[in-house]
Chains A and B, each alone.
Chain A
Amino acid sequence: MEKKRPKNLNLLTIHFPLPAIISILHRLSGVFLFLLIPVLLVGLSMSLTEAGFDSLHQGFNTFYIKAILWAGLIPFFYHLVAGIRHLLSDVHVGDSLKGGRRGAQLVLLVTIVLTILAGIWLW
């Protein structure tokens, strides 16, 4: 049988659909959050002693620690929002092709909004 299907190997025109990018970022943010577990526990343990609470409090007033906290919140917000989208598709909300794309756009939008809000709250 002769193969007559068109081939497209132009990498400039091949790209992942947005839901696929959303999915891989969900994975990636999950790995980040996994690595942050010990950091979170150190923070919790510090915050529950008076001296530790004070030094955390002082730390959060310095720019770069605020920036690190803000950066750490991005994978958290993303993973949470993308996870909620996942749970919604489990109950068949937005699991059509169109709905999946719309949901993927919403995930990005909500994450950006939450990140901006967190930034406003921090500063």
Chain B
Amino acid sequence: MVKSVLGVNHQGLRDWVIQRASAILMAIYSIGLLAYIVMHPGLSYVEWYALFAHQWMKVATLLVLLSLLFHAWIGIWTIFTDYVHPYALRCFLNFMVISMLIACFFWGALILWSV
């Protein structure tokens, strides 16, 4: 766990699978949501709120937020591993990014909670 947080214990195959699974979930969700917005011109607040009030929509959104967390983490980790060579700096950046991503996940969950 500590090694994983520092970003030094990544397993290629696991990352590969997570990156693709999360990509598929996010693609389906975002295309679906875009289609909904395009098909509802002049969308009212009541309709929009009602959409996010559905239990399944909350679960789907949380699932996508979780996918986003993992997807962004693997992507940013790869970029840092490629371009940021000083070990201490890379650990620090990885720590900042993973903290920010987990914070965003909880933030998103709280937003949905309030609906």
Contacts and interface: CB of A to CB of B under 8 A. Distances in A.
A84 B27 contact: yes
Given A30-B75, A34-B75, A47 B48 contact: yes
B45 A83 contact: no
Contact of A41 (B23, B107, B114): B107
A48 interface: yes
Q: Is the interface of A mostly helix, strand, loop or mixed?
A: helix
A87 B16 CA distance: 11
3 tightest A-B contacts by CB? Answer: A53-B45, A45-B111, A34-B72
B30 interface: yes
Contacts of B23: 83, 86-87
Interface residues of B, number: 23
Interface of B: 20, 23-24, 27, 30-31, 38, 45, 48-49, 52, 68, 72, 75-76, 79, 101, 104, 107-108, 111, 114-115
Contact of A121 (B27, B38, B48, B68): B38
Given A27-B79, A44-B108, A83-B23, A37 B68 contact: yes
